[in-house]
Structure 1
Amino acid sequence: MFVSTAYAQTAAPAGGGSDMLVQFLPLILIFIVFYFLLIRPQQKKMKEHKAMLAAIRRGDRVVTGGGIIGVVTKVADDELTVEIAENVRVRCLRSTVNLVLAKTEPTGKSGGDSTPAATTEEGESKPADTPAAGGIGKLFGRK
């Protein structure tokens, strides 16, 4: 006859647990990389932003979501009053604040000083009426 005898193939051994782990190992590694590169830094940034929003107080200089820069004049629960120009005040939600440019010292710490001391972005304290770039005068011997 022209048809040869067919032989049944032997079945592969049922590996079970170790085979499944080897198959899912690349997927698990990808998830771990995504967690450390994307998810964890985003959660940390959101936590810092939430703490910054909770710490906003009167006198802070803020930037809103629309790009408006102003000084906080009144703080309520979820609402801020921001002065963006002389005698121009805007009410905005606390959650729309993107950045706090300059933080002020609490009024109880200054000991009777009428001008609040602002803090620069580097964390250095400076009086509110001194210019930020006053170091060039020192180079030429001016005080």
Structure 2
Amino acid sequence: MFISNAYAQAPTDMLGLGGNLTSFLPLVLMFVVMYFLMIRPQQKRAKEQKAMMDALAKGDEVVTAGGILGKVSKVTDVYVTLEVAAGTEIVVQKPSVTTLLPKGTLKAL
């Protein structure tokens, strides 16, 4: 009276793989979306940052991660020497240089 009848479901195909593949489809789609929205752009930014650090040369105007603006006066493998004011130089690590400014941005130096 209160209990309904239970019926067996028919398999979608002979091996029964159709149900397993469709259960993994949302997981695969989530990974593909995550790759294109998060992983790929991050790899592109990292590649651009590395290319910019390799191309640093004397006379370039840069911004550091701390917000210091300066003109590159010396570049080594690990460090960059920046002239932040006339006669004032600081040494920073290469990865702390975040942005390369267009020439002529810093007129006061």
TM-score under structure 1 length normalisation: 0.62
Structure 2 matches for 1:68-87, cutoff 5 A? Answer: 68-87=68-87
Structure 2 unaligned segments of length 5 or more: list them: 1-6
Aligned alpha-carbon RMSD (Å): 2.5
TM-score under structure 2 length normalisation: 0.80
Q: Tell me the alpha carbon deviations over residues 45-84 of structure 1, each in whole angstroms, 9 at most, x when there is no partner.
A: 1111111111001000000111000000001111110000
Q: 2:53 aligned with 1:53, yes or no?
A: yes
Instruction: Find the structure with the greater CA-based Rg.
Output: 1
Q: Equivalent residue for 1:28? A: 28
Task: With a CA cutoff of 8 Å and minimum separation of 6, indicate the structure with the bigger relative contact order.
Answer: 2
Give the paired residue count: 100
Say if 1:82 and 1:49 are closer, same or farther in 2 by CA, change over 3 A. same
Q: Tell me the alpha carbon deviations over residues 58-114 of structure 1, each in whole angstroms, 9 at most, x when there is no partner.
A: 000000111000000001111110000011100010000010103xxxxxxxxxxxx
SS at 2:21 equivalent: helix
Point out the structure with the larger helix share: 2
User: In structure 1, what is the Cα distance between the partners aligned to 2:9 and 2:25?
Assistant: 25
